[in-house]
């Protein structure tokens, strides 16, 4: 390897170290800010345990509709008992002295990471910027904005829509001889991992938009590979043991691929026809 290549490689490592240091500092600052809200975030994560979610409202409206339209069925299936059943109070439990503190640290860390997303994506962009054209460098603001917003949308989509479904499905197994006892570490770790997964899933169209504008991927490249995308979505989702979690990961993941295909078609780099 020539001295110029060695010097260039060292320069890239120095630049990478600089960007990583800025990212770490940004995450630490974001973690410090998020620490003040970690209790509220934990309460929001715990909310499905109360049974008071949008699913219970939908269930209530459905039962009332059955009562108005089919009173016989309403009485036969004793829906009134379920409609008027009191909410069961469930709480998280811990078995180690410092367990809640470490869970609070994890919540603050992920929240700090989300707060620092604009800086993280900006540093990633600045790292690759030397290899881009002047026109491509002007995409920095749209890229940082879109990447940060879509990650947050994915995280909120999971917390508001998917998380209550998962917990409601889990609680549906309760019976006279089987009661839930949620450990705070297992509960919070599971939730935080899925928040991260859904945030990354929603980044797929943004990444495709970027790569298609650079001419690296195209609609013709992505469209024929839908069956492989579906298979890959199923394989990735299969790492989660329970069926409901596999399903709620596989479907959004494939839908994001499908959106990415159309993003590449609509916003991809257009080939300039050769002059005759």
Distance CA 67, CA 73 (A): 8
DSSP string of 162-201, one letter each residue:
IHHHHHHHHHTT-BTTB----BHHHHHHHHHHHHHHHHHH
User: Which range, of 27-41, 55-69, 178-192, 243-257, averages the lowest pLDDT?
Assistant: 55-69
Q: What angle do CA 215, 217, 223 make, to 5 degrees?
A: 140
Q: Is the pLDDT of residue 270 over 70?
A: no
The CA distance from 245 to 189, in Å, is 14
The 10s digit of each residue's pLDDT in 194-211 is 999 999 999 999 999 888
Mean pLDDT, to the nearest integer, of 78-97?
A: 79
Q: Which of 44-58, 106-120, 131-145 has the highest mean pLDDT?
A: 106-120
User: What whole-number distance in Å separates Cα of residue 268 and Cα of residue 209?
Assistant: 7
- Give the closest residue to 215 by CA, choosing from 151, 269, 137, 158: 269
Tokens read off for 22? 């800025």
- In the chain, count H helices and then E strands: 15, 0
Global confidence as pTM: 0.86
User: With bands split at pLDDT 50, 70 and 90, how would you rate the model's confidence at 105?
Assistant: very high
Query: In whole numbers, what is the pLDDT of the chain averaged over residues?
Result: 86
CA gap 272, 51 in Å, rounded: 57
Confidence of residue 171 (pLDDT cuts 50, 70, 90): confident
Q: Is the pLDDT of residue 149 over 80?
A: yes
Q: Can you tell me the mean pLDDT for 146-163?
A: 94
CA distances, 3 to each of 9, 10, 130, 131, 188 (Å): 10, 10, 20, 20, 50
**pLDDT higher than threshold 60 for residue 1:** no
């Amino acid at each position: 390897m020539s001295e110029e290549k060695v010097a260039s490689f060292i320069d890239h490592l120095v630049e990478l170290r600089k960007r990583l240091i800025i990212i770490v500092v940004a995450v630490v600052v974001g973690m410090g800010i998020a620490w003040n809200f970690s209790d509220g975030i934990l309460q929001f994560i715990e909310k499905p345990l109360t049974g008071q979610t949008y699913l219970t409202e939908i269930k209530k409206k459905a039962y009332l509709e059955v009562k108005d339209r089919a009173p016989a069925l309403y009485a036969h299936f004793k829906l009134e008992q379920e409609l008027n059943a009191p909410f069961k109070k469930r709480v998280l439990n811990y078995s180690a002295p410092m367990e809640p503190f470490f869970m609070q640290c994890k919540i603050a860390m992920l929240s700090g990471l989300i707060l620092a997303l604009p800086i993280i994506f900006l540093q990633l962009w600045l790292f690759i910027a030397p290899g881009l054209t002047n026109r491509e460098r002007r995409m920095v603001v749209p890229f940082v904005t879109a990447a940060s917003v879509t990650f947050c949308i994915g995280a909120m989509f999971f917390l508001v829509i998917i998380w209550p479904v998962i917990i409601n499905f889990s609680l549906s197994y309760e019976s006279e001889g089987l009661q839930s006892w949620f450990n705070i570490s297992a509960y919070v770790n599971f939730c935080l991992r899925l928040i991260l997964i859904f945030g990354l899933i929603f980044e797929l169209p943004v990444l495709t938009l970027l790569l298609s504008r650079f001419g690296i991927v195209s609609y013709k490249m992505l469209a024929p590979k839908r069956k492989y995308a579906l298979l890959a979505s199923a394989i990735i989702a299969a790492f989660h043991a329970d069926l409901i979690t596999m399903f709620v990961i596989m479907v959004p993941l494939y839908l994001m691929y499908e959106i990415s295909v159309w993003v590449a078609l609509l916003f991809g780099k257009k080939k300039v026809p050769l002059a005759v």
